[in-house]
Amino acid sequence: MATSTVNAKASGTFSIGGDLPVNRMGYGAMRITGDGIWGAPKDIEGAKKVLRHVVELGINFIDTADAYGPDVSEELIGEALSPYAKGVVIATKGGLTRQGPNKWFPVGRPEYLTQQVEMSLRRLKVERIDLWQLHRIDPKVPVEDSLGAMKKLQQQGKIRHIGLSEVKPHEIDQARKVVEIVSVQNQYNIGDRQHEDVVDYCAKHNIGFIPWFPVAAGKLAQPGGKLDSVAKKHNATVSQLSLAWLLHRSPVMLPIPGTTSLQHLEENVAAADVKLSAAEWKEIEDSAK
């Protein structure tokens, strides 16, 4: 598929919290770190170049977290993109600590989360975080305590909107009693639909759904499979078809594919131009079950 005229505007828009309009095709900044999402990337200047190209392609929703690196992803975003172009929304997360490569441990204590928000503000070089998301609910800390601290920061003007990650509908209901929830970030793609109920919940309440791991993997994506044959027919890649399906699946869907390659980045954004008929989408969905 041609990528020369690619722009994320083709993915349509969604208004986070009713007042933050973003193009629906976003960018996930987890991969601009070292192996195991640990330490700095091998090519720091290359990572910054990708971030700048993200904005050039019309992507104005970038998702990161204090745990990516840790700190590295936020620092690179702040260095590469600050001062931010008008309309660029940076979402970050807090609540997972790091003990080494590929090691993640939830900590939701109010004083810890408050400290992390202050540090994120500094690294991202912003005065207010557009969207702060609780990276995981800490089983040892009542979610009311974790989010209560974030509500205070929201009232102080340090956080604009609050979201959740890896939750089920009953947990969203519980959180919404404390503070308004405008987004949910769960693992989801055409081959992994364990959170179908959460997508439907978010659509019903106009909450943005941010699917991480948005591209189908495994058997479904293999050469010669259903996704592969339909992708070839539409002069697209399996990855592009996966992203296009997400955009088709729900108007509240905000895919955030991540990459460290400029070419791959353009390919991802071009997925917004992949158009299939309702019958073709149904055939793909049925084959993915």
Residues 176-215 pLDDT 10s:
999 999 999 999 999 899 999 999 999 999 999 999 999 8
Q: DSSP H helical segments within 29-168, as ranges? A: 44-56, 72-81, 110-124, 143-155
Of the chain, the end-to-end C-alpha distance in Å amounts to: 27
DSSP 8-state code for residue 228: H
Alpha-carbon gap, residue 229 to 53, rounded angstroms: 30
Rounded to two decimals, what is the model's pTM? 0.96
Bridge pairing between strands 20-23 and 13-16:
antiparallel
**Cis upstream peptide for 169 (omega within 30°):** no
> Which pLDDT tens digit goes with each residue over 242-261?
999 999 999 999 999 999 99
Site of tokens 């949910």: 184
My answer on whether omega of the bond before 83 falls inside 30° of 0, hence cis, is yes
Instruction: Compute the C-alpha angle 90/92/93, nearest 5°.
Output: 165
Structure tokens at 216: 């189908």
* CA gap 212, 89 in Å, rounded: 17
**In the annotation, is 112 catalytic?**
no
What is the C-alpha to C-alpha distance for residues 87 and 60, in angstroms, rounded to an integer?
A: 7
Examine residue 70 and say whether the peptide bond preceding it is cis (omega within 30 degrees of 0).
yes
Which residue among 27, 68, 84, 201 is the active-site one? 68
* pLDDT tens track for 92-141: 999 999 999 999 999 999 999 999 999 999 999 999 999 999 999 999 99
